[in-house]
Amino acid sequence: MKACVAAVLWTTVLFAGGCKSNKDAKKEPDKGSGSAAQTAQGSAQGSAQPGGSGAAPAGAVELAITCGAVGKEQKICKEGVAAWEQKTGNKVKVVSVPASSSEQLALAQQLLAAGASDVDVFNIDVVWPGILGTFFLDLKEYSKGAEKEHFEAIVANNTIDGKLVAMPWFTDAGVLYYRKDLLEKHKEKVPTTWEELAATAKKIQDAERKAGHKEMWGYVFQGNAYEGLTCNALEWVASHGGGTVIDAQGKVTIDNPDAAAALETAASWIGTISPPGVLSYQEGESHGIFLAGDAVFMRNWPYAYGLAQEDKSPVKDKVGISVLPKGAGAGARSAAALGGWNLAVSKFSKHPKEAAELALYLTSPEEQKRRAIAANLQPTIVSLYQDKDVVAANPLFTSLVDTFKAAVPRPATATKGKYNRVSTEFWNAAHAVLSKQAKAKDSLADLKGKLEGMSRGGTW
């Protein structure tokens, strides 16, 4: 009854009776997990009923989908799902998930390993195809070639052993947000190196505090020990010319002086330009501070721009976006981590055809256009970057298109099913340096040993 173990942990997902797997659908759930499922009953969020009537037409099915939980993701997903319900007469539950990609992965792994059919369509991070691919259907059998309109690199990323395990939904790259008004007021320029960023952040932070804005900080980012820190730390390391932890051939490269310098630089920000609490910040906490007007700079993904521009936002029209700064050293360059999310259909779904149709609808050009305009979720369909409405809603991002094209992938393809273990070791090593529990040099030497042990001589 592993599915019921998942129910205990993923309390927001499962609803009463949702503790059955295809394998053991006829058995009763055991007592403990049954009650956990009941506790969770109220939290599963269904979307609007089709046509408002609640009565599903003959042949209609009921599906469940996970969507993201950062910024406007839930809302925007529910709107898309409701449109598909209207169109098809089927019903879809939009399941609540935690905001953290790492927690979402743990829960998806437990559900899928148990063969649970509770979720038909999974929203999967760009680094998961190698980890979860075997649990998903080949969408090429349903797509009629729709994937050809998407960025080739993402389609390749989502293709495992010739199977298209997920349709690209939106793409992400780390960017630098800055307060245009504060830079102007303090006669400063947008920083292009981390050194400039630290100096500008400190100068403006100190001056603003002196003028009475006591909560002001210079720089916020994602420093919690989770996948988001892997993205931030990869950007620091790559921007110092320190590589990508593991190279495309599977060789562990992280133990090098540029990588150590990058982590020591980041550690020097804690308590000086970044609040000590940044060590537990994910995306939401970072944008919370920045959007309240309490930070000069922020590292985040494109979604936060839409939130900054809402009418109620204290920083409306005051925010600019640029590429992330470069480090020092010969190989220094601006580096943005490649992120993004995709829709996959579980092989345990009882309604694979409809589930695939839902995934294809939500990833279609019309939906991606709507999501790019309403929530700044960057399309994976190449032609939408020429669409004038998309460009008008995302002026700053379309000007950063080269950044998106050159975004640095995490070492997920090379490490296959072990990527999450690799990433966990990397974010823990980075977190130890940020929290001053270890020197970067020692932390990276230790990390190298662990990763080499995991890879058994480079064969991941």
Give rounded-to-5 percent helix, strand, coil for the chain.
50, 15, 35
Q: What are residue 72's DSSP bridge partners?
A: none
Question: Which of these, 135, 104, 107, 140, lies nearest to 356 by C-alpha position?
Answer: 140
Residue selected from 231, 263, 343, 407 as contacting ligand GLC according to rule CB under 6 A: 231
CA atoms within 13 A on the CB side of 437: 7
- Judge whether 376 and 306 are in contact, CB under 8 Å: yes
Which of 20-28, 113-121, 271-279, 334-342 is the region at the interface with ligand GLC (rule: CB under 6 A)? 334-342
Residue selected from 37, 126, 132, 165 as contacting ligand GLC according to rule CB under 6 A: 126
Q: What residue type is 112 in one-letter code? A: L
306 lies in the binding site for ligand GLC (CB under 6 A): no
Q: How far, rounded to the nearest angstrom, does the alpha carbon of residue 290 sit from its chain's CA centroid?
A: 19
Which of 10-18, 149-157, 226-234, 372-380 is the region at the interface with ligand GLC (rule: CB under 6 A)? 226-234
- Judge whether 142 and 363 are in contact, CB under 8 Å: no
Residue selected from 85, 149, 227, 235 as contacting ligand GLC according to rule CB under 6 A: 227
Nearer to ligand GLC, 15 or 305 (CB): 305
241 lies in the binding site for ligand GLC (CB under 6 A): no
Euclidean distance between the first and the last CA atom of the chain, given in angstroms as a whole number:
31
404 lies in the binding site for ligand GLC (CB under 6 A): no
User: Cα 78–85–50 angle (5° rounding)?
Assistant: 100
Nearest approach, Cβ of residue 375 and ligand GLC (Å)? 13
Nearer to ligand GLC, 33 or 282 (CB): 282
Residue 79 vs residues 303, 312, 355, 357, 368: alpha-carbon distances, Å: 17, 22, 17, 16, 12
Rounded Cα–Cα distance for residues 306 and 319 (Å): 11
172 lies in the binding site for ligand GLC (CB under 6 A): yes
Which of 88-96, 245-253, 339-347, 399-407 is the region at the interface with ligand GLC (rule: CB under 6 A)? 339-347
Rounded Cα–Cα distance for residues 184 and 157 (Å): 41
- Within residues 341-360, the interface with ligand GLC by CB under 6 A covers 341
- Helix/strand/coil for 68: coil
339 lies in the binding site for ligand GLC (CB under 6 A): yes
300 lies in the binding site for ligand GLC (CB under 6 A): no
- Helix/strand/coil for 401: helix
246 lies in the binding site for ligand GLC (CB under 6 A): no
Q: Would you list the DSSP string of 87-138?
A: HH--EEEEE---S-HHHHHHHHHHHHHTTB-S-SEEEEETT-HHHHGGGB--
Nearest approach, Cβ of residue 175 and ligand GLC (Å)? 12
Which of 3-11, 223-231, 243-251, 358-366 is the region at the interface with ligand GLC (rule: CB under 6 A)? 223-231
Nearer to ligand GLC, 332 or 400 (CB): 400
71 lies in the binding site for ligand GLC (CB under 6 A): no
- Within residues 437-456, the interface with ligand GLC by CB under 6 A covers none
Nearest approach, Cβ of residue 19 and ligand GLC (Å)? 29
Which of 12-20, 50-58, 270-278, 333-341 is the region at the interface with ligand GLC (rule: CB under 6 A)? 333-341
- Judge whether 307 and 181 are in contact, CB under 8 Å: no
Nearer to ligand GLC, 114 or 176 (CB): 176
Question: Which of these, 230, 440, 242, lies nearest to 332 by C-alpha position?
Answer: 242
Give the CB-nearest residue to ligand GLC. Answer: 339
Nearest approach, Cβ of residue 126 and ligand GLC (Å)? 5
244 lies in the binding site for ligand GLC (CB under 6 A): no
Nearest approach, Cβ of residue 213 and ligand GLC (Å)? 29
Task: Characterize the bridge pairing of strands 62-66 and 91-95.
Answer: parallel
Neighbours of 267 (CB within 10 A): 18
Q: How far, rounded to the nearest angstrom, does the alpha carbon of residue 158 sit from its chain's CA centroid?
A: 15
How many residues line the site for ligand GLC (CB under 6 A)?
12
User: Cα 403–124–54 angle (5° rounding)?
Assistant: 120
Nearer to ligand GLC, 126 or 216 (CB): 126
235 lies in the binding site for ligand GLC (CB under 6 A): no
Nearest approach, Cβ of residue 238 and ligand GLC (Å)? 15
Tokens describing residue 350: 């009882």
Which of 192-200, 224-232, 348-356, 378-386 is the region at the interface with ligand GLC (rule: CB under 6 A)? 224-232
Q: Which residues bind ligand GLC (CB under 6 A)?
A: 101, 125-126, 172, 227-228, 231, 283, 301, 339-341
